Amino acid sequence: MLKVRLQQSLPIALDVDLHCDKSEILALVGPSGAGKSTVLRCIAGLHSVKNGQITCANNKWFDAQEKINLTPQQRRIGMVFQSYALFPHLTVNDNIRLALAKQQQNKQQKIDDLLSQVHLTGLEQRYPHQLSGGQQQRVAIARALAREPEVLLLDEPFSAVDKVTRRKLYLELNTLRRSLDMPIILVTHDLDEAAMLADKMCVIHQGKTLQQGEPEKVLYQPNNTDIARQVDVRNISIAELVNEEEQLTLKWNDYVLAVEQMEGFVVGQTVHWTIPPSKILLHQRVRPSRGEQENPVTGVIEELITLKGITTVLFIVDHANGQTLQMDVPEHVAKRNKLAIGVAISVSLLSDAIHLMHN
Amino acid sequence: MDWQAFEVSIKLALLTCASLLPIGLALAYLLANSRFVGREVLEAAITLPLVLPPTVLGYFLLVGLDSNSFFGGLFVSLTGHTLAFSFTGLWFASIIYSLPFAVQPMLRAMETIEPEIREAAWCSGLSKWKTFFKIELPLAWPGIITAMVLSFSHTLGEFGVVLMIGGNIAGETRTLSIALYDSVLAFESEQAKSMSLILLTIALVSITIVFIFNRSRSRVVRL
């Protein structure tokens, strides 16, 4: 298990607390300049901060108080750089050979195994400039694994390849990770990439780790509005908590919404709430409402856009001072219900999907 | 043709190159990899011989190497020989005036190596020394070859500083360019012509080698 705690105010403000278990991928997400790469460089031993501790499998790699700071050579890390940083004057074979431990038995066999693991058999004698972006990334991963690292660090490894290759590499990494038993830290600014590949996600902003947890939880149930903004949460609104028929509910404009999550909130409190666009259900036109739907809300469609079979509908909610909500529906549902700009719709906001946040 | 002067010149140029290889590499590595107060001053001092009139440089070296000076005195007390007007003094002066020709190409070559390449080597478990010999040196090789060829040619052709510091002692400090000057003054035009042609050929061949080497190298290694 890898545990990282870093604190410093200058020159770059850092307040980082994260951990990653064996065989787990932790995605470090945040905008450019948030400090993601700095954290990765600290773990690798390429950068050190004033306060903090980094331990890996009970070995102290860095402890500011005890003045322990192991060099990258002493840390046994495997690092894949954003630009891959392959040695340009060496062949694929020699790039990997250089990273093998001195005491490694039968080096050529090990190189062949690593190359077959990343599907590069047959390209041993090529130079980096003779490889495609995807192949270079695979060499970088093989080189990182050659050291039999205790932690694998991936710094935006997919940013230098085209979209088609990227999708292929996602699948490959997903397969490869099953055979790896070390913590893997993936730095990315792409939330979809993080959600797809990682077991855990950690949001970092201005050098501070804001929330760590399962992607589903971080993306749809952020702890506060700061995190919500970082993970691009749509449908953020303000409402008041009220008591309605002995039950705590959300008073949002003219609507009273039933909510399941209540822990930590009290009556009279003004809160931010959110609902994922996929958790807003469209009422079918052919089956008119009999008034029994969950949290019914009506509105008029202002805009709609379809991408890869999903139609995102932006609608202005009735009696809500012009506030809008976004809803995702399958394209065929949008077509069957004849959704178009200006059409009036009725929807349900699922109560178990409404998430309350502290300001 | 003064073959003795030719021998002195070649010996001086080879010894200067051999000395500048480690000195140039150390200085280029320091300048390329570290940020320290006075870095610009150091770089300017190294580059100074490029712009300074050779006679000015020669004057200061002559004063600095004189047996009455600290450095010259120290050398006399250690070896019993004076530095001024000796081959050793000339060798020392050549290292100084050819320094920018060695350091600049090496420095430019090292600066083109992405810092990430070096860090990738460390993360792959390579020590700093191993990183230098296995990664940085092979990548900076074209710059190092350029540095050596330029230092060799420049040492071979230097006139002003040699005259100031070495004088004109046959077999000791009389180099080909000094012998050429003597020949012209003595109206020995045939000898002057052959020596000029030798210096011209060496310069042309060495610079051509630099271009050929750099071009073929860039085809193999694209940084």
Instruction: Tell me the nearest-neighbour CA distance from A75 into chain B, angstroms.
Output: 8
The beta-carbon neighbor of A147 closest among B125, B220, B222 is B125
A20, A74 Cβ separation under 8 angstroms: no
**Does one domain contain both A282 and A165?**
no
Tokens of A131: 């490889």
CATH code for position A76: 3.40.50.300
Mean pLDDT of A306-329: 93
- C-alpha distance across the termini of chain A, in Å: 33
In chain A, the largest separation of any two C-alpha atoms, in whole Å, equals 75
The beta-carbon neighbor of B116 closest among A81, A129, A144 is A81
Q: What is the pLDDT of residues B25-84, one digit of tens each?
A: 999 999 998 888 888 899 999 999 989 898 898 888 888 888 888 888 888 888 888 877
Q: What is the pLDDT of residues A166-194, one digit of tens each?
A: 888 898 888 888 888 899 999 998 898 99
The 10 Å Cβ neighbour count of residue B218 is 11
**Does one domain contain both A250 and A217?**
no
Tokens of A221: 């149930």
d(CA A173, CA A189): 17
Q: What is the pLDDT of residue B216?
A: 67
pLDDT at B130 over 90: yes
Tokens of B138: 């092979």
**Does one domain contain both A175 and A80?**
yes
Q: Inter-chain contact A88–B138, Cβ cutoff 8 Å?
A: no
Q: What is the pLDDT of residues B143-156, one digit of tens each?
A: 999 999 999 999 98
pLDDT at A263 over 90: no
Q: Can you give the residue ranges of every domain in chain B?
A: 3-220
Q: What is the pLDDT of residues B155-192, one digit of tens each?
A: 988 888 888 888 778 888 888 888 888 889 889 889 89
Instruction: Tell me the nearest-neighbour CA distance from A130 into chain B, angstroms.
Output: 10
How, if at all, do strands A270-274 and A151-155 pair? Answer: unpaired
d(CA A140, CA A138): 5
Instruction: Tell me the nearest-neighbour CA distance from A72 into chain B, angstroms.
Output: 5
The beta-carbon neighbor of A46 closest among B119, B126, B139 is B119
Q: What is the pLDDT of residue B223?
A: 40
Last residue of a domain, one of A205, A230, A255: A230
**Does one domain contain both A185 and A78?**
yes
Q: Inter-chain contact B222–A71, Cβ cutoff 8 Å?
A: no
Q: What is the pLDDT of residue A237?
A: 92
Nearest to B144 by CA among B217, B92, B200: B217
Cβ contacts of A85 on chain B, cutoff 8 Å: 114, 116-117, 119-120
Last residue of a domain, one of A182, A208, A230: A230
d(CA A81, CA A141): 9
**Does one domain contain both A209 and A94?**
yes
Q: How many domains does one find in chain A? A: 2
pLDDT at A125 over 70: yes
**Does one domain contain both A220 and A270?**
no
**Does one domain contain both A67 and A144?**
yes
d(CA B33, CA A304): 54
* Average pLDDT score over chain B: 88
**Does one domain contain both A263 and A315?**
yes
Q: What is the pLDDT of residues A20-37, one digit of tens each?
A: 999 899 999 988 888 899
Cβ contacts of B217 on chain A, cutoff 8 Å: none
A155, A82 Cβ separation under 8 angstroms: yes
Helix extents (H) in chain A: 36-44, 72-75, 92-99, 107-117, 133-146, 163-177, 191-197, 215-220, 225-230, 331-336
**Does one domain contain both A175 and A54?**
yes
Range of the domain at A184: 2-230
Share of chain A above pLDDT 70, in %: 98
CATH code for position A306: 2.40.50.100
Last residue of a domain, one of A209, A230, A251: A230
**Does one domain contain both A51 and A151?**
yes
A152: left (phi over 0), alpha (psi -120 to 50) or beta: beta
**Does one domain contain both A218 and A139?**
yes
Q: What is the pLDDT of residue A141?
A: 94
Structure confidence at residue A200 as a pLDDT band (50, 70, 90) = very high
DSSP A109-120: HHHHHHHHHTT-
**Does one domain contain both A42 and A176?**
yes
Interface of B to A at Cβ within 8 Å reads: 114, 116-117, 119-127, 134-135, 138-139, 220-223
Class of domain B3-220: mainly alpha
